[in-house]
Amino acid sequence: MGNQTLQLPERVNIDTIPDIYNRVKEMVHKSSDSDTIAIDFSGVVHIDTAGVVTLEKVQTDANERGIELSFENLSPTVEKTMQAFSSRLLEKPAGKQKPHILEYVGEYTYEYWITLRDFILLLANISYYGLVALFRPKLRRKGEVIRQSNFIGVTALPIIMLVNFLIGIVLSLQVGIQMRPFGAEIFVAQLIGFAMIAELGPLLTAIMLAGRSGSAIAAEIGAMNLSEEIDALRSMGIDPIPYLIVPKLYAILLTIPLLVAVATFVGIFGGAVIGYTVFQIDFNAFYNEVVFILRYYEIMTALVKSIVFATIIIVVSSFYGLHVEGSAEGVGRATTSSVVVSIFLVIVADSLLGLLFYL
Amino acid sequence: MANPIISTKYLSAGYDETTVLDDVSIDIYENEITVVLGVSGCGKTTLLKNLIGLMRPTKGMIEILGHDMVYIQEHEYNRLMKNVGVLFQGGALLNSIPISYNVAIPLEQHTNIPDYLIQEIVRLKLSLVGLGHAYNYLPSQLSGGMRKRAALARAIALDPAILFADEPTAGLDPVTASSLDNLMLTLREQMGMTLVIVTHELSSIRRVADKIIYLDKGKVLFSGKLDEALESEIPEVKNFFSV
């Protein structure tokens, strides 16, 4: 093609650059080695940073292809702008070398180990301060046990009652329909009684608490962590575990047995309502069947389970709250992880305790 | 004299029953660096929010680049904001994406520039604020000062005609603060940018300001050139510059 010239418009800016870029690219494609392209700036009165970056880029690309691309007739003002925003100013981004797959494996294993270690340490700390703070109330935040008991226990009661009532209804209906062909509907009462007391009452209450109170605890501690409130406590010589977390532990340990008792009662009542309305089982007969199957052993099982579940919820939500990093998004991630891990560990603990108590 | 690029007439604004700005009338001309001053709570940030259309005044008129900001339509506002850059006090970066993506957002949304050129422009903007090395960093990996610089890079991504900056050099070390001041002067000289800066940093004010607007209890107590402000006999203004 030989020599080509491109006359630039009056304004070389973010609006005109795509067109200029396409025209120069076309000229470069049509050119061969040792051809020259002149970019004529004689009409340019304004050039912005996008203009500077683009023209320098096309010049570099053309030169790499052996085509000489030159800038001509630059006014002093335009030349000054070109110098002020030249890509020679560009700093190199800090590069990361791609690690080997074994490094990935090693890194993840190490991270999991550290997480597990921190979790066990936190569990040990909470257990220790849980005992110590019983005798040294000054370690705890004043009035916090009552406030947390109200939040974890009282305000959670309506939703826990509703969920357990509905589960009682559904369970009773499903079991009763299966038993009807054998004329054994009366056993619905025994099954509902046993399942609600030993299994569903504590489990459903714990799942609701993990979702409701666990997430709130993780978010609260996480936000405090981000705004350096935890650091401020430490700098004042106050250990955040007895001060912030132990009151929550006391509150949940105080309220969860009561919540489980109410949840179980309401669940059984839901079953009795269906028993009476669908399977014609008298309330009195239903009650007698429940009492017949009920042993202290089931009540103790429910109590032990609820205490274990409560401890899991507090330790997991505090762990994720204390490990929040970065920004508000980190709080969201910690909250989600706290709920997912709490529910998972509650179900694992429920399975293990079930095996322990009934094998 | 040329028409002002930013103008308010009898502007009053506030929150609920509280009036923060009371009859504020100002004119800012093209290619000027105007610094808005005043003690905490005098209405500087409220003025800035009204100027950029994030708050509606209770009374008065605001005109930016010939557009009436009080009755502006949404599509017209979005088009206008291509020519206006805003640096917020806390940076206001999107925390879930690297700072390079943050700077690229206005370029991707408002231009047809090819992606690889956008990356070059982003690198230049980050280098201008001294963050070229932090291209792939998340905002949470940066210090407060670095986040503010990244936010400045985003605010100037489209080479806007007007840049509003809320405390751009607060919390920065003197060397970085000085380099940002120089960058603002360069933007004014080379790009013809008009800058409205809210700041308390005396050294910055002396370095960059052409014009001073001093607010006191929501009213304009002083408006004039930097030299006049330095010589002012108004007690509040005199007190401010003699600290």
Query: Is pLDDT at A29 greater than 90 in this prediction?
Result: no
Domain count, chain B: 1
The answer to whether B190 contacts A328, with C-beta atoms less than 8 Å apart, is: no
How large is the average pLDDT for residues A72-77? 90
User: Domain range holding B194?
Assistant: 6-242
Q: What pLDDT score does A89 carry? A: 64
Residue B141 with chain A: CB contacts under 8 Å: 326
Name residues 326-355 of chain A within 8 A of B (Cβ).
Answer: 326-330
Whether B111 has its CB under 8 Å from any CB of chain A: the answer is: yes
Of B101, B71, B65, B103, the closest CA to residue B87 belongs to: B103
Of A240, A214, A215, the closest CA to residue A312 belongs to: A214
Name residues 173-232 of chain A within 8 A of B (Cβ).
Answer: none
Whether A13 has its CB under 8 Å from any CB of chain B: the answer is: yes
Whether A90 has its CB under 8 Å from any CB of chain B: the answer is: yes
Average pLDDT value for chain A:
90
Beta strand pairing call for B84-87 and B162-166: parallel
Distance from CA of B7 to the nearest CA of A (A): 25
Expressed in angstroms, the distance from the first to the final Cα of chain B is 35
Let me know if residue B1 belongs to a domain: no
Let me know if residue B27 belongs to a domain: yes
Q: Are A261 and A250 in contact (CB under 8 A)?
A: no
Residue A14 with chain B: CB contacts under 8 Å: 107, 110-111, 113, 158-159
Model confidence pLDDT, tens digit, residues A170-203 = 999 999 999 888 888 889 999 999 999 989 999 9
- A205-208 contact pairs (CB < 8 A, 24+): A205/A160, A205/A164, A205/A256, A205/A259, A205/A260, A205/A263, A205/A306, A205/A309, A206/A256, A206/A305, A206/A306, A206/A309, A206/A310, A206/A312, A206/A313, A206/A346, A207/A343, A207/A346, A208/A156, A208/A159, A208/A160, A208/A163
> C-alpha angle A151/A156/A157, rounded to 5°?
125
Closest CB to A53 among B110, B124, B141: B124
Q: What pLDDT score does A96 carry? A: 66
For an interface test with B, the pick among A57, A85, A227 (most B C-beta atoms closer than 10 Å) comes out as: A85
Residue B155 with chain A: CB contacts under 8 Å: none
**The amino acid at B166:** D
Distance from CA of A95 to the nearest CA of B (A): 9
Q: What pLDDT score does A359 carry? A: 80
Q: What pLDDT score does B66 carry? A: 92
Distance from CA of A225 to the nearest CA of B (A): 14
Name the residue of chain A whose CA is nearest to B124's CA: A90
Q: Which CATH number belongs to the domain containing residue B197 in this structure?
A: 3.40.50.300
Whether A23 has its CB under 8 Å from any CB of chain B: the answer is: no
Residue B100 with chain A: CB contacts under 8 Å: 93
The answer to whether A53 contacts B139, with C-beta atoms less than 8 Å apart, is: no
Query: Is pLDDT at A221 greater than 70 in this prediction?
Result: yes
Cβ-Cβ pairs closer than 8 A, A with B, add up to 97
How large is the average pLDDT for residues A18-30? 88
Q: What pLDDT score does B111 carry? A: 87
Q: What pLDDT score does B1 carry? A: 62
Query: Is pLDDT at A41 greater than 80 in this prediction?
Result: yes
Q: What pLDDT score does B190 carry? A: 83
The CA distance from A271 to A262, in Å, is 14
The answer to whether B123 contacts A93, with C-beta atoms less than 8 Å apart, is: yes
The CA distance from A125 to B66, in Å, is 65
Domains in chain A with CATH codes? 3-89 (3.30.750.24), 130-358 (no CATH)
Query: Is pLDDT at A28 greater than 90 in this prediction?
Result: no
> Tokens 């700072």 appear where?
B99
Q: What Rg value do the Cα atoms of chain B yield, rounded?
A: 18
Q: pLDDT truncated to tens, each residue of chain B (243 aa)?
A: 678 999 999 999 998 778 899 999 999 999 999 999 988 889 998 999 999 988 889 999 999 999 999 999 888 888 898 899 999 888 888 877 899 999 998 898 888 889 989 999 999 999 988 899 999 999 888 888 888 889 999 999 999 999 999 989 887 888 888 888 988 998 898 888 999 999 888 889 999 999 999 999 999 999 999 999 999 999 999 998 887
- Label residue A330 by pLDDT band (50, 70, 90): confident
Model confidence pLDDT, tens digit, residues A152-171 = 989 999 999 999 999 999 99
Let me know if residue B164 belongs to a domain: yes
Distance from CA of B183 to the nearest CA of A (A): 10
Let me know if residue B135 belongs to a domain: yes
Q: Sheet containing B59-64: which strands, arranged edge to edge? A: B18-28, B6-15, B59-64, B67-68
Q: Are A133 and A239 in contact (CB under 8 A)?
A: no
**The amino acid at A8:** L
The answer to whether A91 contacts B186, with C-beta atoms less than 8 Å apart, is: no
The answer to whether B128 contacts A21, with C-beta atoms less than 8 Å apart, is: no
Residue B123 with chain A: CB contacts under 8 Å: 87, 90-91, 93
Let me know if residue B59 belongs to a domain: yes
The answer to whether A81 contacts B132, with C-beta atoms less than 8 Å apart, is: no
Whether B126 has its CB under 8 Å from any CB of chain A: the answer is: yes
The CA distance from A149 to A151, in Å, is 5
Closest CB to B121 among A15, A50, A327: A50
Instruction: Give CA B154 to chain center in angstroms.
Output: 12
The three-class DSSP label of residue B220 is strand
Model confidence pLDDT, tens digit, residues A239-292 = 889 999 999 999 999 999 999 999 999 999 999 999 999 998 999 999 999 988
Q: What pLDDT score does A295 carry? A: 87
Of A82, A77, A27, the closest CA to residue A52 belongs to: A82
Closest CB to A57 among B112, B120, B192: B120
The CA distance from A316 to A19, in Å, is 57
Q: What pLDDT score does A1 carry? A: 56
Distance from CA of B114 to the nearest CA of A (A): 8
> C-alpha angle A194/A196/A197, rounded to 5°?
65
